[in-house]
Structure 1
Amino acid sequence: MKTKYAIIFICIVALVIIEQETNILSRVSDELIQRVTPHPTPQTQQGLPSEEPEEEEDIMDANSHSGGHKHILILASTRTGSSFVGEFFNQHGDNMFYLYEPLWYLQGLAGFHKDVLQGLFLCDFTPLEEFISPRPLNHVTPTLYARHASAALCKKPVCTPGVKCTTTSCRPLNLTLASQSCLTKEHRVIKTVRVRQLDILRPLVEDPRLDLRVIQLVRDPRAMLASRMVVFPFFQKWKTWARQGKVPEDDEQVKWLKGECDSVRMSAMVGLSRPRWLRRRYMLLRYEDVTRYPMQKAEEIYSFAGIPFSSQAREWILRNTQTTPANNDPLYPWKTNRNSLEQADKWRFSLPYEVARVVQMVCGPTMELFGYSLVDDEKTLVNRSVSLLDPLYLI
């Protein structure tokens, strides 16, 4: 009998010990889980906590505060086709306010770009007036610099009796009326070749009053140089070197070209790295893709911008991608109507191989990032059947 009770007692003690050990193990397990599970730190919370909450937050940010207004900045270098792409928006219709190169007045004053752009996107021309020379009198300037006039500035209330509107300007321009017109438009687009780095735009992208999207337009550096040699006196040296068949690789202009290529690449790498402040607000666009597939790319641009693709813009693209202005037209280099299929490779038959080789030498990393193939000889350069455009794999 005693043995029976002893066995029962031993079993009860064993059960108590097992229960206690289980509780201990449970507490230890919980502590271990807490230790290995990362807790959000201030730095992590500013970074990438998780995909789904971030997407929801980005969508909320992209559609809040701006009252439905879309603000687009086309970022480019000279001779990249930015005027052509800008017209995709300029021809949109009555609810679009488009400005061509307003930062022209700030040459050499990059530190003011952000403030002026912010003012213009908010329809405040006052910051720009500070840099227009001669200074506008009673907010009226003889003209606003443009090679392609803003459609919105060539309509009432800006264009009134006594104001002359041409294909390039509306003059004289009352900036107060321009501001009032801007405020009535649902979408605002600015095209510029004077902003070098995306980083300076962060305050604008994060401005709760704006729903800013950035389109960075790039082009094959060899094609850009070929076009610049035709248009700009600054590149006269390159024309001389092209005739002589030899480019001094240590010349300051060669170093300048390398610096520009590096700057464009570094700017694009910021956007392609998808920092949280720029996510879903950056688009890299190659000029060559636009010339090959203008309607498809226009649809993608409008989709990215969050703006319906208008019938007016479609019609303009159809009319202006299947014709070529006369070569003897003095404004030919600035025209936006082209046979787009011919444009992408046209430079290959005007740029000597030696010049192309030096461009490849100093701009190679940039060309690799954007999918531009290098050539090893003149025969390949002028062989149109050999594509120099690789698929663009965005990182």
Structure 2
Amino acid sequence: MLLSTRRGCGFNSVKLSLRVIIVLCILLIYVSSRILLSSFSSALPDKIEPNFRIDNSYQKYNHQHDNADDIIDNIIANDRNIVDILEYNESMSTNYTAQISQYQSESGTTVTNTTTAAPTKKPPSMEDMIIDTQRQKIAAEMNDFNFTEEMIGLSSLTPETNGRQIHNIIISTWRSGSTFLGDILNAIPGTFYHFEPLAHFLTAQIRGPPKSTDAINTISELLKCNYTGLQQYLRHSKESGNQFLRAHTVPLWNSCKPHENLCWDPNFLNSFCRLFPIQTMKIVRLRAAFAESLFKDPALNVKVVLLIRDPRGTMASRKPHSWCDRPDCNTSAELCKDLVDDFKSAKILINKYPSQFKAIRYEDLSLNPFNMTKEIFNFYGMPFDQNIDNYLDLHTRTRDGGDYSTFRDSKTVPFLWTRSSTWAEVQRIQSYCAKAMSVWGYKLIDNKKELNSTMFNPLLQNPFAYDADFAAT
């Protein structure tokens, strides 16, 4: 009995323990479910039933998943749009590049900024149009020009095409026929003519440094078509009373006069000068000895003609002009000293540079203009064509115009001084100029009767006489 009682008590204890374990398991399951549900929706009210919470959490997850799918779809669609845009831009860039290449080929220009809109041709400047017009005029003028073998063609003579320009210079003094000879040379097609480029030295003869250094530099830079550093030359020729100097350069004056600032713009002048195959200068302030400085510069390609006149004719021609009021111009002693020095220089230069230096007398040119001009042109290497023949025929038959006119009866003009000068004036000049007249071949007048005689011939043999055989052809 006692044993049965003990067995009953043990069984009851086991049952109690099982119940406790079961309760604990239920509590564990409940707590675990709470934790699991909280991961889906920790914000749901405690009183909502567990099944609803689970269903709602899955619905929210599914909704978020659907949204994610939509986002991915949108991204894929956007990617496709981006690819389409990139392909379109590449196509447009290819087309635009092709358009630019075609434009560059047609216009000869270069487009460097391809981010801009369609390229447009830059309109030419006024200076460019003037230059181009003159270039065409020169080409037309030279179309019938008789180029020598040395010249080859126009492009071989123009600096803008790296050609070797021809440079012809006349050295003389005031009122000695240089304008007449200069205008003959200026009648050659394609000539850029400098009328007294040393005028800014005023009424003075240049016989040594520092003036001679400045003068040679001015001449050299002009012949090289470089006006950039010639401020004094440009400033002087721009003054209202001196613009006639520029007007003698007819092509330049006609081109720039409507836009006057261009006439003295160094950059424009540099470009304009480089169009011409020939430059010609007539210089009346520089003595012959300084021609050697020009010969020593091979880049200049210079030939010089020294033009001499009977001092009695020169002084008579200067007498009416008020500008000739300085000792270098109005005194026969200074003139004839220069004539003697020029003779000495001429002997040296003709011997040393026979193909580059020549001396002639104005009277010989005037008495025999056609043959002497042929000789001068032969020396300069210029063809004597019908245009020059016509010019001489027009300008040497009759006198027309004022004291500066080159329309004249050339056979009488050199000797007008025998009628306009008094015997006293002739005596005074001859007293200072006997040596100069002797070396250059001019005859002295012995008395007043001889001065008034229509039979008097003041010319003796020219010491540098031109070739008579050539003149007769």
Query: Normalising by the residue count of structure 1, what TM-score does the alignment of the two structures yield?
Result: 0.68
Inter-partner Cα distance in structure 1 for 2:407 and 2:247? 12
What's the offset of the Cα at 1:312? 2.4
Between structures 1 and 2, the one with greater helix share: 2
Partner residue of 2:444 out of 370, 374, 380: 374
| Corresponding position: 1:81 with 2:177 | yes
Of 156, 176, 186, the match for 2:277? 186
Identify the residue that residue 16 of structure 1 maps to in structure 2: none
Q: 1:150 aligned to 2:229? A: no
Which structure has the larger Rg over C-alpha atoms? 2
Q: Give how far 1:104 is off.
A: 0.6
The aligned runs of 1:336-351 (5 Å cut-off) are 336-351=406-421
Mapping of residues 347-366 of structure 1, within 5 Å:
347-366=417-436
Q: Does 1:305 align with 2:404?
A: no
Which position in structure 2 is the counterpart of 1:176? 267
Q: What one-letter code is carried by the residue in structure 2 that aligns with 1:314? A: D
Q: CA deviation at 1:179?
A: 2.5
Distance 1:279 1:379, change over 3 A: same
Question: Which structure 2 residues correspond to residues 136-147 of structure 1 after superposition, within 5 A?
Answer: 144-146=243-245
Q: Distance in 2 between matches of 1:394 and 1:321?
A: 24
What code does the residue aligned with 2:194 have?
L
Letter in 1 for 2:251: A
In 2, the alpha carbon distance for the partners of 1:231 and 1:126 equals 34
**Residue type matched to 1:387 in 2?**
N
Question: Aligned partners of 1:125, 1:77: CA distance in 2, in Å?
Answer: 25
The question of 1:227 aligning with 2:317 is answered yes
Counterpart selection for 2:297 from 207, 223, 226: 207
Unaligned regions of 5+ residues in structure 1, if any?
A: 1-59, 165-169, 237-251, 327-331
CA distance 1:120–1:175, change in 2 (3 Å): same
Given that 1:262 and 1:366 are in contact with CA atoms closer than 8 Å, whether structure 2 keeps it comes out as yes
Q: CA deviation at 1:147?
A: 7.9
Identify which range, 202-211 or 276-285, moves more after superposition.
Answer: 276-285
What is the aligned partner in structure 2 of residue 111 from structure 1?
Answer: 213
Q: Is the 8 A contact 1:129 1:135 kept in 2?
A: no
1:291 pairs with 2:387: no
Which residue among 336, 349, 355 is the counterpart of 1:280? Answer: 355
Relative contact order, higher structure (CA 8 A, sep 6+):
1
1: CA distance, partners of 2:442 / 2:229 = 39
Deviation at 1:254, TM superposition (A): 10
Q: Which residue pairs with 1:239 in the alignment? A: none
Equivalent in the alignment of 1:96: 191
Query: Which runs of 5 or more structure 2 residues have no equivalent in the other structure?
Result: 1-149, 151-158, 205-210, 466-473
The one-letter code of the counterpart of 2:177 is G
Matching residue's letter, 1:272: K
What SS does structure 1 have at the residue aligned with 2:403? helix
TM-score (norm 2): 0.57
8 Å CA contact retained: 2:225, 2:274 = yes
2:292 and 2:349 in contact (8 A); partners too = no
CA distance in 1, matches of 2:385, 2:351: 30
CA RMSD, aligned part only?
3.3
- Output one character per residue of 1:8-61: Cα deviation in whole Å (capped at 9) or x when no partner: xxxxxxxxxxxxxxxxxxxxxxxxxxxxxxxxxxxxxxxxxxxxxxxxxxxx9x
Asked whether the 8 Å contact 2:237–2:243 carries over to 1, the reply is: no
Work out the CA distance in 2 between the residues paired with 1:325 and 1:142.
24
The Cα of 1:255 is off from its aligned counterpart by 9.6
CA distance in 2, matches of 1:211, 1:88: 20
Does the CA contact (< 8 Å) of 1:71 and 1:188 recur in 2?
yes
User: How far apart are residue 377 of structure 1 and its match?
Assistant: 0.5
Match of 1:319 among 394, 397, 417: 394
1:184-230 deviation digits (Å, cap 9, x = unpaired): 2112111111102x332323111111221111111110111111112
Within 5 Å, which residues of 2 pair with 1:54-73?
Answer: 67-73=163-169
- Give % identity: 23
Say if 1:358 and 1:314 are closer, same or farther in 2 by CA, change over 3 A: same
Deviates more, 1:118-127 or 1:99-108: 99-108
Question: Which amino acid is the alignment partner of residue 346 of structure 1?
Answer: L
For residues 253 and 186 of structure 1, what CA distance do their matches in structure 2 show? 35
Conservation of the 8 A alpha-carbon contact between 2:167 and 2:300: yes
Q: Which residue of 2 aligns with 1:218?
A: 308
Aligned to 2:228: 126
Aligned partner letter, 1:85: L
Q: Secondary structure at the match of 1:272?
A: helix
